[in-house]
Amino acid sequence: MKKLTGIFCIIFWAGLLAGISFLEAPLKFQAPGITIPLGLGIGQLVFQALNKVEIVLAIIILACSLPVPLKNSRSILLFLVTILLMADTFWLLPLLDERAKLVLAGNAPIKSYHHILYIIIDTIKFLSLIVLGFLSLKSLYDEKRH
């Protein structure tokens, strides 16, 4: 049961990233009446909530995967996703939040690469979760067959 819970959380997390980072975020600014400040305010709320959910999912997945020796592709992908989540949580999201606050206060922040880096990290996280989900399902299937 714990393996199924972990696999469910992996696939659910990938779905959240796809829906929020790759669908909602870019489309939000195309909606009629959405200004940059309004879109940024919504984005801050959504991505702060997403980050909290990601942390909970990562904890559940790690708990379902213990012990996690770095000896196979699944454990390496899980380690990668965890490191990327920590980079988002403790480095990129706080920087992006400060930039959003500057814009919301009417100031123009200097150009930076942080938003592009966040998109790249989310893309790597998403692809890693998809592969991790498939490998985990395959492992579960192989266990059931033998």
First to last CA, the chain: 17
Domain boundaries, the chain: 2-145
Which residues, 6 or more positions from 40, have their beta carbon under 8 angstroms from its beta carbon?
100, 103, 104
> Whole-angstrom Cα distance, residue 13 to residue 31?
26
For residue 108, what pLDDT is reported? 83
**Rounded to two decimals, what is the model's pTM?**
0.92
For residue 68, what pLDDT is reported? 67
List per-residue pLDDT tens for the chain, 146 residues long.
889 999 999 999 999 999 999 999 889 988 899 988 899 999 999 999 999 999 999 999 999 988 766 778 999 999 999 999 999 999 999 999 999 999 889 888 888 999 999 999 999 999 999 999 999 999 889 888 87
> Whole-angstrom Cα distance, residue 127 to residue 115?
18
Which residues, 6 or more positions from 146, have their beta carbon under 8 angstroms from its beta carbon?
none
